[in-house]
Structures are given as structure tokens and as C-alpha cells.
Amino acid sequence: MSEKLINLENIHKDYGGKVVLDNINLYVRDKEFVTLLGPSGCGKTTTLRIIGGFETPSAGVVYFDGKKINDLPPHKRPVNTVFQRYALFTHMNVYDNIAFGLRIAKVSENVIKDRVTNMLKLINLPDYAKREVSSLSGGEQQRIAIARALVNHPRVLLLDEPLGALDLKLRKEMQRELKSIQQQVGITFVYVTHDQEEALTMSDTIVVMNKGKIQQIGTPVDIYNEPKNAFVADFIGESNILDGVMHKDRLVSFCGKNFDCLDSGFEKDETVDVVVRPEDFEIVPIEDAQLVGTVKSTIFMGVHNEIMVETEDFTWKVHSIYNAEVGDKIGLFLTPDDIHIMHKS
Amino acid sequence: MRNRKMAALTTVPYVIWMALFVVIPLVLIVVYAFTSKAGGFTLQNFSAMGDYAKVFARSLWLALAATVICLIIGYPVAYALSKMGPSFQRTAIMLLMLPMWINFLLRTYAWMSLLENTGLINTFFDNIGLFDLINKIALSLASDPSAYQPIDHFQMINTQGAVILGMVYNYLPFMIMPIYSVIVKIDRSMIEAAQDLGADSVTVFRKVIFPLSLPGVLSGITMVFVPSVSTFILSKLLGGGMNMLLGDLIELQFMGGAYNPYVGSAISLVMMIIVMICMTVMNRFGDGEDQAVML
């Protein structure tokens, strides 16, 4: 039981008939960094709020450390939350904001002072104790919100898109910082985001959600390399997704050609989704190519060019350092492990 | 540039209006307050006010009492209202404002006929035999039954209580509305954050909702206290003239037998200063840029 710190079993949630969560089964291990990832409206925030106690599931059981906590109100749960828009108390200064939880727990003011001071050091804002919340930038408010939650030494920290309002550079910086804070304090993080890159860089485990259902649970590497279905493939990273037919184990046909692949266990001639990552293409001389197409457009993206290649049946997105000109004929080559086959969902 | 000039031009009627009917009268009040009957400069008008110290004290006291009662009644209503569903809130606010659509004098006359010695309330008590019951009990407890004066009504009209009732009745919406509008705008996530940090509902109220609602409370206090302290017809109709207030006193100086616009102006000036001090103190308390005090 102690293996699973938080355990959600068969969670359903609907608002007046509209199903928001459909049979969610999920567990979080101690000291794990778990990310709930999905597009807006997929139910990830609702799942987090159920763990925090702000929503009650319509059906199903929430366990914390083996004990059922469905009916435990938020103020009695050993978890703390970093809210999407920080939700700092605007009528208090930074110190009082961070001290809020400790004062309610009746910790002595001396201890509070130590812990708040340490926390301000941890978030790199050591001189901010007396500042008014309204005078802080988004990034600073964000750190205060994290400090306010962490100072209570929660077993689990819940984070609801905490970096959503920050600009790209600051977001990257905070991603690294959050990860290092998590490792320093050694507690469990449950993190909600719609940003797949954020999920890939920070998490131990990613839970991909869509339309109230869990699509896949796995490590970032698993999720990226072995997406379970077309949705996950499309949502995590970029993908070319097209129809194909699985003739037999390890042989698929698409674009009118047969390709060797590594997948098996499909029915004979089953219609499947074929997924190819844009960076997996090799650009080869036309005579060696499996697919030949015309360059429709090419965009410089920094580390690579994004080349759209039109073949007879499909327009492929290809990432390559190769410099192509619009109108060029180029050849594409795929090895068997570049081709991912998925059941139609 | 041209547009800005045009925009400034559109305010001309307002500026003329304000100058004619606000600025000039204010200047006149100040001038009159320092003018003797003979026409020279004097401070006599202010020293003459000493005679009316009681009226000042009574006005401030009654206004304060009305304000406190409005706060005690109004705050819970505003808080409860903010927790209700949106359609209930709309209806409730409409009902709150409904009495405002009836003329102030009419409403006060209605209270008179309710509170009179032979009014509706006393008649009702009489009909259910309440006074007989009280007399019977009092008579049996009295040491000297022959000296006991039986009662046939409660004295409600022509008391300070009736004046306070009138103030509370008329100005309660002005307490509820600003508090409600501040509470309803408190960010829901701030309340959730407090719960998340271990606060039960009492603590959430004490540490988050109440402090954040203070601008509304201050605004409500101002909006009840200022009209209460300067009200003049209420005391005449409900207080029976025995509880003269500042407003009545000023009226008396300008329209009544005591005709003395110089003293009247001096009283008006002092009252304005009292109100300004109150507002300043209030604003100082709620030193935030999102101050809700408006009047």
C-alpha cells in the first residue's frame, strides 16, 4: 500500500450529465514527479482538484496512503496546492503569505521565521519578506505561491499549470528550478500542464489525458517513443499520422507501398494508424528512396528546417538540417523502427 | 489635440452647473458663517453653536447607532447573498432596492402609522390581549396594586429608537450593497488557497474574506453615516420634534422661527467638516488603491 501514496480508483465525475472524468485509474508513488498532460478540457485539472479535495468524485474512491479520503475536506488533507493564477493573499505581504499555513497549524513564531526565511532562500528571493504581493512580477508571485505551499512540508505538492502565465524564457528557467526544488525537498509532485515539452523535461511519469479518459501512462521516453494511440502521438511531439493496412506481422502498407515495421499482433489486413515522427526521416538520393515527393514549403526553425514534402497520397512533415528548395524533388527513407503502428481508436 | 479640445468642450454644461449650484453656494456658506448680522467679520456664529452642543451630540450618537445596527444586520445579509446562486442574487438585490423606488416621505409616513400609540402594531398587540396580560402580571407583582398604572400601548413613536429605526430602515441597502459587491468579487481561488493551507471555514472567513471585504464595510459605513448624521425629516416625523437633529437645526435657522442664516451657515460648515473628517479617517483605514468609498 505504501508504494501507492495516492491512488485513484474508477473515478467518475460529471456535472449535470456532462461527463468530465470517465473511469480514471491512477496511482502516484512517494517522491515521484507525475504530470497530468492533455489539452484544455481533458479533465486534468478536475483530477488534480479531486486529489486536493476541491471536487468530490461522482463515483470511485480516492486513497491517500491506503486510507480512503473521499470525504476529507481540503483543509485536512496532507497536500498543498500551487494554483494556476497563484491566488496569493493580496491583503498580506510576502512573509505573511508564506507564514499563513504555519500560523494556522499553530507553529511558534520563531520556527515560522526560520522556515519562511529558508523558504525565501530556496526560491531565490531572500529579501522579499516585507514586499507587498501586488508589487511582484508574475515569476516572483509564482515562486511565492510555491514557497507558501512547500513551507508546510506537505506529503504531496499539487501544481495546476503553475507556469502558464510566464513568458517562454522564464518558463524554461522555472521548469529547471521546480525540478531541482522537487529533488532538494524530496516530496511528491503532481503537476498539471498542457505543454508537452514541460511534461517531457520534468516528469518521472506522464499521464496523457483526453476527453476525460487516460490515454497512456508512462515515462517520458516511453510516451514519446511508444505512443499508444494516434492522439498521444499527435499530442506529444509532432507526427505524421495516416491510414495504413497491416497485411501481416511486421508488414504494413501505406501510400501504395509495403514497409517493414516492428509491430505485430494485428488482425490480417486490419486498417491502422501509421505514425512517423518528422525527425525520423532520412533524406536520400531519389534512386535509394522509398518515398519520392516535391518540396511544398520549407521553414527555418533554428535547429532544423521544417520541410513539407508532397507525395501522391500524403503531405509529410520532415525535420532535417538538409536545405531544400521549394519545388525540389527529394527522396525519403524510413527504417522499420521509424514506423509506429497503432490500432484505430 | 483637436479631439481633446472638443471633448473638453462637452463638459462645459456640467462645469457651469457645478459652479452655479455647488461652488458658489459653498463659498456663500463660508462667507455667511463668518459674517455678523450687521455685515462685519465675526466668529460669534461659531460660539453661538455652543447652545446646540446637545443637538450635535445627539445627531452623532443616533447616526453612529444606526450605522452600527446597519453593519450588524447588513454584513451577514451581504455575505449570505454572495454565496447564493446567480438568479437568486439578482432577485434578492431587486427586492432590496424595491423600497428605494417609493418616496422617502411616504415610507416614513408608513412607519408613523405603524408605530403610533393607536397605530397598527399597538392595535395588534391590544387585540391579541398582550397589554391585558402584561397588566395582570405586573399587578400581581406590584407591591402597591392601587398605585399601578395599567398600560394600553407601547411608546414607540416620538422616541430616539423610532428615529434610529427610520435611519436603519432607509439606509440599510446602502450598507448591504457595497459589502456585497466587494465580497462577490473576492477571487474564489484565494478562498481555496486558504482551505488548502489548512483553514477551516471560520478561519477562512476571519483571515481572508473579512479582511478583503473591509473596503466594502468602510464604504457602507460612510454611505450610512453621512446621510444619517444630516437627515432632517426623520426626527421630526418619528422623533416627534423632541429629538431635534443637526438637519432640523439647520432647517430651523433658514426656514423656521429662529431665522438666522449666519448661524445656520456656521452649523452647515461644521457639519461638512465633521463629514470630511469621517471620510478621511475611513479612507486612511482602507489605504488601498482599490478603495470602494464613493459618494
The confidence band for B287, taking pLDDT boundaries of 50, 70 and 90, is low
Nearest to B195 among A75, A148, A149 (CB): A75
Task: Give CB contacts under 8 A, 24+ apart, made by B120-124.
Answer: B121/B154, B121/B156, B122/B153, B122/B154, B122/B156
ipTM of the complex: 0.82
C-alpha cell at A80: 498543498
Give the model confidence (pLDDT) of B149-195 as tens digits. 888 888 988 889 999 999 999 999 999 999 999 999 999 999 999 99
Residues A74 and A165 grouped into a single domain: yes
Average pLDDT, chain B: 88
How many structural domains compose chain A? 2
Residue B295 has pLDDT above 60, yes or no: no
Between positions 134 and 173 of B, the ones with CB within 8 A of A are none
Question: Is residue A149 less than 8 Å (CB to CB) from chain B?
Answer: yes
Q: Are residues A183 and A246 in the same domain?
A: no
Joined together, the cell numbers standing for residue B21 give 449650484
Same domain assignment for residues A23 and A142: yes
Whether residue A163 contacts residue A171, with contact meaning beta carbons closer than 8 Å, is answered with: yes
Domain with A112, as residue range(s), is: 4-230
Quick check: is A217 in a domain? Answer: yes
Spatial CA neighbour of A208 closest among A227, A221, A189, A190: A227
Question: CA-CA distances (angstroms) from residue B120 to B114, B124, B158?
Answer: 5, 6, 16
Q: Which chain B positions have a beta carbon within 8 Å of A52's beta carbon?
A: 196
- For residue A314, the domain's CATH number is 2.40.50.140
φ, ψ of residue A173 to 5 degrees: the values are -60, -45
Q: What pLDDT digit, counting tens, does each position of B123-161 carry?
A: 999 999 898 899 888 888 888 888 888 888 889 888 899
Task: For residues A257 and A208, state if they share a domain.
Answer: no
Judge whether A91 is closer than 8 Å to chain B, CB to CB.
yes
**Same-domain pairing of A141 and A290:** no
A236 in any annotated domain: no
What pLDDT digit, counting tens, does each position of B218-271 carry? 999 989 999 998 888 888 888 887 778 888 888 888 887 778 889 889 999 998
Cα angle: A177, vertex A180, A181; to 5 degrees: 85
DSSP B146: G
Q: Which of A199, A230, A261 is the last residue of a domain?
A: A230
Sequential DSSP letters for B251-273: HHHHHSTT--HHHHHHHHHHHHH
Q: What is the pLDDT confidence band of residue B293, given thresholds at 50, 70 and 90?
A: very low
Point out the domain boundary residue: A197, A230, A263.
A230
Interface test with B, best of A100, A116, A144 (most B CBs within 10 A): A100
Give A266's DSSP letter.
Answer: P
Q: Please identify among residues 102-131 of chain A the ones whose CB lies closer than 8 Å to any CB of chain B.
A: 104-105
Q: Does A323 lie in the same domain as A222? A: no
Domain endpoint, select from A198, A230, A262: A230
Find the residue in B nearest to A88 (Cα).
B190
Size of interface A-B (CB pairs under 8 A): 62
Spell B144-170 as b/e; 16+ CB within 10 A means b. eeeeeeeeebbebbbbbbbbbbbbbbb
Helix axes A109-122, A94-104, angle to 10 degrees: 130
pLDDT for the residue B82: 92
Rounded distance, CA A188 to CA A157, Å?
6
The amino acid at residue B217 is V
pLDDT of B288 > 80? The answer is: no
Q: Are residues A170 and A117 in the same domain?
A: yes
Residue A72 inside a domain? The answer is yes
User: Does one domain contain both A293 and A161?
Assistant: no
A219 lies in some domain: yes
Hey, are the CB atoms on B198 and A52 less than 8 Å from each other?
A: no
Same domain, A152 and A280: no
CATH fold of B52-116+156-285 reads MetI-like fold (1.10.3720)
Is residue A59 located within the same domain as residue A201? Answer: yes
- Indicate which CATH number applies to the domain containing A113: 3.40.50.300
Is the Cα torsion angle B9, B10, B12, B18 positive or negative in sign?
A: negative
Q: Does residue A170 sit in the same domain as residue A297?
A: no
pLDDT at B1 over 80: no
- Give the CA distances from residue A298 to residues A204, B203, B294, in Å, rounded to whole numbers and listed in that order: 35, 60, 60
Q: Where along chain B do its domains lie?
A: 52-116+156-285
Looking at the domain assignment, is residue A77 inside a domain? yes
Q: How far apart are CA A213 and CA A225, in angstroms?
A: 21
Which residue stretches of chain A have pLDDT < 70? 1-2
Is the same domain home to A261 and A202? no
Please tell me the predicted confidence (pLDDT) of residue B278: 82
Q: Are strands A67-68 and A79-82 parallel, antiparallel or unpaired?
A: unpaired
Q: Decide: A119 and A151 in contact? Cβ < 8 Å.
A: yes
